[in-house]
Amino acid sequence: MDRAAIPSVDLLLRGLISKHPQIARERLVSVARAVLQAVRELELPLEDIDTELDARLLRLASPSLRRVINATGVVLHTNLGRAPLRAFEPVSGYSNLEYDLATGKRGKRDEHYVPLLTELLGVAAIAVNNNAAATYLVLKALAEGGEVLVSRGELVEIGDGFRIPDIMEQSGARLREVGATNRTNLEDYSKAAGPQTRMVMRVHPSNFHQSGFVGKPTLKELSILAGELALPLYEDLGSGCLVDLKPYGVEEPLVSASLAAGVNLVSFSCDKLLGGPQAGIIAGDAALIATIRRHPMYRALRLDKLAVQALSDSLRALVVGDYASLPGLSMLMLRVAEIEARAELIAARIPGAKVIAGESVLGGGSTPDQSIPTRLIAIPGNAHRLEKQLRANDPAIVARIEKDQLLLDLRTVFPADDGVIVEALKNYARSM
């Protein structure tokens, strides 16, 4: 390569300023230098300079987080943000986040959502930025320096390499394993309890299940034992189911049932079966909640103003029973007949498409092996090519492939997006 042919930064800058007047000059300079460096190191052909400059500047100026259409049938899709959020208008400008308008004095951000949680659960509660943070904070505030009794069968990995023993170690609490991997009884807990024991912990195996020769105490039995040992019983419940979903084929323990069984503290996610934003709730005995809230780490883990508003909005819908406005819950409650009717309308407009029986998956590490009946649109043709083209659509459409067949599950598609799917499939057919 003739290095003399490489343009100068100033030469590129003159053209960039006229093409991208909305981008700050120093940013244009930075990008131009980076592209020229790639040319000098032979990572980029000289003739591709203009294309690379435009591509890099477009990436800087365009948001990478954008709306997608989830046609996979996985309701709580971890990679797609878990529970889809109920639409709400963020408060712009200033807000009364920590200001009491009635008294004119400093307020607490908790007051925007705590009364709603108390109305739903009947106990004290606080929120932090996710359930892993909630688990960490409970252990840090109540068991640092002491032992926590946990069944060996409950030492789960909650995803992305985060494991309960690791979180416990970081909190300063010491893990005391009890029982066996498949069976733990009350005696295992009582024998392990000692002067250093600070807590009994139950972890809901939300992302797996055991079968066969297995057993463990009921929550009621464990709560009675914890009371006899003068220890708090804490349950990491995970999925945070506040609404009975059994009529819709979902078997998941209710938060209210854990509290009724005598659990002193329970924590759970808000972006799973609660149907809200990412957050973690800690609920239970008022004295324990007060101790946790006073811990310095609470401030580090508390919710920001957008999460406070989104959580409050979701909780308010639950309080008034407006489940239909919470997309995750309404999707779980959809009847197969409704999905089938929509699927037939779409399939009729796509040559070769057909509607078949299938299963929607709850996902999100919430309900292992649980699925509910649905109807799928099976699309003919090269499944991998079509899947890639749908992802390139605007908005992107994420589908699933099974046995080399592309499938669309409308359970997780908002009805307003059905037309978008039809147009994307027609565009694909025209490109064949």
Per-residue pLDDT of the chain (432 residues; tens, 9 = 90+): 577 788 999 999 999 999 999 999 999 999 999 999 999 998 999 999 999 999 999 999 889 999 999 999 999 999 999 999 998 899 999 999 999 999 999 999 999 999 999 999 999 999 999 999 999 999 999 999 999 999 988 887 766 666 788 888 899 999 999 998 788 999 999 999 999 999 999 998 755 566 666 788 999 999 999 999 999 999 999 888 999 999 998 888 999 999 999 999 999 999 999 999 999 999 999 999 999 999 999 999 999 999 999 999 999 999 999 999 999 999 999 999 999 999 999 999 999 999 999 999 988 655 556 889 999 999 998 999 999 999 999 999 999 999 999 999 999 999 999 999 999 998 877 776
Q: What is the identity of the amino acid at 90?
A: P
Residues 134, 138, 140, CA angle at the centre, nearest 5°? 115
Continuous segment of H or E residues that includes residue 105: strand 105-106
Q: How far apart are CA 387 and CA 377, in angstroms?
A: 13
Domain count of the chain?
A: 3
Q: Is residue 86 part of a domain?
A: no
- Long-range CB contacts for residues 19-27, cutoff 8 Å, separation at least 24: 19/54, 20/57, 20/61, 22/61, 23/57, 23/60, 23/61, 27/60
Q: Is residue 417 part of a domain?
A: yes
Q: Let me know whether 183 and 317 are in one domain.
A: yes
Q: Let me know whether 249 and 394 are in one domain.
A: no
Q: Let me know whether 260 and 137 are in one domain.
A: yes
Residues 147, 148, 153, CA angle at the centre, nearest 5°? 135
Q: How far apart are CA 347 and CA 350, in angstroms?
A: 5
Q: Is residue 88 part of a domain?
A: no
Q: Let me know whether 204 and 107 are in one domain.
A: yes
CATH number at residue 261: 3.40.640.10
What is the reported pLDDT for 164?
81
Q: Let me know whether 25 and 111 are in one domain.
A: no
Q: Is residue 165 part of a domain?
A: yes
At residue 258, φ and ψ (nearest 5 deg) are -65, -45
Q: Let me know whether 21 and 164 are in one domain.
A: no
What is the reported pLDDT for 368?
55
Q: Let me know whether 214 and 280 are in one domain.
A: yes
Q: Is residue 3 part of a domain?
A: no
Q: Let me know whether 310 and 364 are in one domain.
A: no
Cis peptide before 395 (omega within 30 of 0): yes
Sign of CA dihedral 82, 83, 84, 90: negative
Q: Are 229 and 194 in contact (CB under 8 A)?
A: no
Q: Are 184 and 212 in contact (CB under 8 A)?
A: no
Q: Let me know whether 245 and 346 are in one domain.
A: no
Residues 62, 68, 73, CA angle at the centre, nearest 5°? 160
What is the domain range of residue 17?
8-61
Q: What SS3 state is found at 170?
A: helix
The total of other beta-carbon atoms located within 10 Å of residue 393's CB is 18
Q: Let me know whether 112 and 260 are in one domain.
A: yes
Q: How far apart are CA 151 and CA 154, in angstroms?
A: 5
Q: How far apart are CA 313 and CA 310, in angstroms?
A: 5
Q: Let me know whether 265 and 192 are in one domain.
A: yes
CA distances from residue 71 to 77, 360, 397 in whole angstroms, order as listed: 11, 10, 7
What is the reported pLDDT for 359?
96
Q: Is residue 237 part of a domain?
A: yes
What is the reported pLDDT for 211?
60
Q: Let me know whether 125 and 233 are in one domain.
A: yes
At residue 103, φ and ψ (nearest 5 deg) are -105, -20
Q: Considering the entire predicted model, what is its pTM?
A: 0.89
Sign of CA dihedral 323, 327, 328, 333: positive
Burial of residue 37 (number of CB atoms within 10 Å: 0-12, 13-18, 19+): exposed
CATH number at residue 395: 3.90.1150.180
Angle between helical axes of 9-19 and 25-40 (0-180°, round to 10):
130
Q: Are 428 and 386 in contact (CB under 8 A)?
A: yes
CA distances from residue 338 to 58, 217, 247, 346, 426 in whole angstroms, order as listed: 41, 41, 16, 13, 23
